[in-house]
């Protein structure tokens, strides 16, 4: 049976000691109420909820799945009660603005809570995830009455939200979108079309669901410049908030999936459904990107949560499972064999999981800290800088942590040997659940093109410059610290190489656009591995006597493992990038199968 314990010690270490969140907020005039004691209390209570309420439903939810009967979706047993407790605890509005009924806590705290939710029960966590994204879009682009009528019930948890983008014929290419929005005489719109892969599109957790739907107005220009965004509730809602009859939106089917089976993934049919325009006509994609970027960071947290859960269970099993003797002699002569944790390759897998989980946690929470500064810093220059940093890091957090979740859940399963393949141990579920994280909210390839094409080429690498500058300041500040020399030296060299490699790609892409696509995924991995090295160096620098000898030794050993065993992967990615696009593009299509 799979177990889970909330990693509260490491979460506190990262938030308070590595990122110094409280001091950062004070410096930028933000979140004056988010004290260390309050953050710790929230983490403690969230950990209890995740361990005691959500984790026990993870396997049963996977086995039961969702059911669709006569257009209504039933979630697995226990999900509704867990959601009721979640709402009663105020978790739905943890980071929402007080004027909308929320608690106004920072996103970095919300992200720590979300990591624990995703470790405990990824499928269940999909329902509030979509509501958070819908809340962000409504907060930034909705009219005042729309915030009052639709945002507040989502913040309270009374209703949930979705984002409806993809259609059967267009996948991620929204320029091909066909859903129509016809104006009605009363100022509403009739929305007609079919959306697919809609997470939480229909369920029994709340009486109403607020769909944010991309559609085209009759006079809209072709392509992405002709897309508008609409609020389409499951039950009609008047401007005064009165809930009316069932709207003409229905779940046509739910997908039978490889993983996240307790999350309802729906085909949604809109048949002249009543909706309201949100934001400006033909500017819907800009509004939807607010949701998408929120969701992309959140999916990175899903990858992180699965890495942590797989690691915890692989570690426990490796300590207990007896098999063969250590190559250097028996470590447990009182037993018929040694525990498998004595074997070097088992340790390689465990340390890979540990290094990625703990380094990835610092990376993800750093990104969320900058999301907070982007929204709340009093200085406009600081807000712009934070915006550029979080924009740059979003595809890295999403792409890298989800791809490494596939690797690390594989390692976790592998530690179990044949038992990892058996459902009762729970490891195969983590591997199945992890696989979708590299696909939805933009595949790894889309994240890579966003990173290299938009954040480097179009935005002249503003976020990268900030990030590299910060690495340089850190390395210079630690130049006289012999305890960090083994980390700051390689980190400084990799940062310099990162900058040079970026310039090489930009120059080659100027002569051949295919070079951009050929380099993108390797560039994302390269960037991610250097970023993780930076945060591992910061973790070592943050260690002090108050952390305890065991914690310090564990962090130092894991940092060395990362720098010596994982960071060298950058060499492989750099070599692949420098090999160019020809080895990918030279083979004619017809000759792929001969």
CA distance 184 to 181: 9
Q: Give the span between the Cα atoms of 118 and 299, in whole angstroms.
A: 9
Lookup result for tokens 């490494």: 404
Q: Tabulate helix, strand, coil % of the chain (nearest 5).
A: 65, 10, 25
Q: Specify whether the CB–CB gap between 479 and 551 falls below 8 A.
A: no
Nearest to residue 277, comparing CAs of 362, 218, 343? 218
Q: Which residues of 46-68 are buried (b: 16+ CB within 10 A; e: fewer)?
A: bbebbbebbbbbbbebbebbbeb
Polymer length of the chain: 594
> Are 41 and 24 within 8 A, CB to CB?
no
Catalytic option among 115, 167, 358, 441: 441
- The residues with which 276 forms a beta bridge, in sequence order, are 231
486: left (phi over 0), alpha (psi -120 to 50) or beta: alpha
Helix (H) or strand (E) holding 38: helix 36-49
| Burial class of 239 by CB neighbour count within 10 A (0 to 12, 13 to 18, 19+) | middle
| C-alpha 421: how far from chain center | 26
Distance (Å, rounded) from C-alpha 514 to C-alpha 582?
Answer: 9
Tell me the C-alpha distance between 399 and 448, whole Å: 7
DSSP states of 211-266: EEEEEB-TTPPSGGGG-EEEEEESEEE-TTS-EEEEPSEEEEEE---SS-TTS-EE
Residue 186: alpha-carbon gap to chain centroid: 40
| Known catalytic residue at 441 | yes
Whose CA is closest to 317, among 405, 414, 428?
A: 414
Residue 328: strand, helix, or coil: coil
Query: If you ran DSSP here, which 8-state letter would residue 75 be given?
Result: P
| 221 phi, psi to nearest 5 deg | -65, 160
What's the sign of the alpha-carbon dihedral 149, 153, 154, 159? negative
Question: Rg of the chain over CA atoms, in angstroms?
Answer: 24
Among the listed residues 226, 211, 262, the one whose alpha carbon sits nearest the alpha carbon of residue 67 = 262
- Cβ atoms of residues 215 and 277 within 8 Å: no
What torsion, rounded to 10 degrees, do the Cα atoms 579, 585, 586, 588 define?
Answer: 160
Residues acting as catalytic residues? 441
């Amino acid at each position: 049976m799979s177990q889970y314990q909330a990693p509260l010690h490491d979460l506190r270490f990262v938030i308070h000691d590595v990122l110094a969140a409280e001091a950062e907020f004070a410096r930028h005039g933000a979140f004056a109420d988010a004290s260390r004691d309050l953050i710790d209390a929230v983490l403690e209570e969230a950990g209890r909820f995740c361990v005691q309420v959500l984790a026990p439903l993870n396997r049963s939810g996977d086995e039961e799945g969702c059911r669709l009967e006569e257009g209504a979706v039933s979630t697995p047993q226990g999900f509704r009660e867990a959601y009721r407790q979640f709402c009663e605890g105020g978790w739905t509005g943890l980071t929402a603005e007080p004027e909308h009924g929320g608690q106004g806590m920072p996103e970095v705290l919300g992200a720590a809570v979300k990591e624990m939710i995703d470790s405990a029960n990824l499928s269940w966590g999909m329902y509030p995830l979509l509501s958070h994204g819908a809340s962000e879009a409504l907060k930034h682009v909705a009219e005042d009455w729309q915030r009052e009528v639709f945002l507040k019930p989502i913040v309270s948890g009374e209703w949930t939200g979705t984002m409806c983008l993809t259609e059967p014929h267009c996948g991620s290419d929204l320029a091909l979108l066909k859903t129509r929005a016809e104006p009605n005489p009363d100022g509403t719109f009739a929305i007609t079309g079919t959306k697919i892969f809609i997470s939480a599109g229909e369920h029994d957790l709340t009486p109403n669901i607020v769909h944010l739907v991309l559609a085209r107005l009759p006079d809209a220009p072709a392509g992405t410049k002709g897309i508008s965004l609409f609020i389409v509730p499951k039950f009609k809602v008047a401007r005064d908030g009165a809930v009316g009859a069932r709207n003409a939106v229905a779940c046509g089917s739910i997908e039978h999936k490889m993983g996240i089976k307790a999350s309802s993934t729906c085909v949604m049919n809109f048949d002249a459904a009543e909706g309201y325009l949100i934001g400006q006509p033909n500017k819907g994609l800009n509004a939807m990107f607010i949701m998408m970027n929120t969701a992309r960071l959140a999916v990175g947290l899903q990858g992180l949560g699965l890495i942590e859960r797989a690691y915890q269970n692989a570690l426990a099993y490796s300590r207990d499972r007896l098999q063969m003797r250590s190559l250097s002699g028996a470590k447990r002569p009182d037993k018929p064999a040694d525990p498998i944790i004595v074997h070097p390759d088992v340790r390689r897998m465990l340390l890979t999981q540990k290094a990625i989980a703990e380094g990835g946690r610092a990376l993800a929470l750093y990104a969320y800290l900058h999301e907070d500064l982007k929204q709340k810093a009093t200085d406009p220059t600081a807000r712009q800088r934070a915006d550029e940093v979080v924009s740059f890091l979003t595809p890295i957090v999403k792409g890298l942590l989800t791809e490494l979740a596939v690797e690390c859940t594989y390692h976790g399963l592998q530690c179990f040997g044949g038992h990892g393949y058996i459902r009762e141990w729970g490891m195969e579920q983590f591997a199945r659940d992890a696989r979708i994280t590299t696909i939805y909210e933009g595949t790894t390839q889309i994240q890579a093109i966003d990173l290299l094409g938009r954040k480097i080429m179009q935005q002249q690498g503003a976020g990268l410059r900030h990030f590299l500058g910060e690495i340089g300041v850190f390395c210079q500040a630690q130049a006289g610290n012999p305890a960090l020399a083994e980390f700051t030296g390689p980190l400084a060299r990799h940062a310099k190489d990162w900058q040079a490699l970026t310039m090489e790609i930009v120059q080659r892409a100027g002569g051949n656009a295919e070079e951009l696509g050929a380099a993108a995924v390797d560039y994302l991995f390269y960037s991610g591995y250097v970023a993780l090295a930076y945060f591992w160096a910061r973790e070592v620098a943050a260690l002090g006597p108050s952390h305890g000898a065991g914690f310090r030794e564990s962090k130092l050993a894991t940092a060395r493992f990362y720098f010596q065993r994982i960071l060298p992967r950058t060499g492989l990615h750099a070599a692949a990038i420098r090999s160019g696009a020809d080895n990918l593009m030279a083979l004619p299509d017809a000759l792929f199968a001969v």
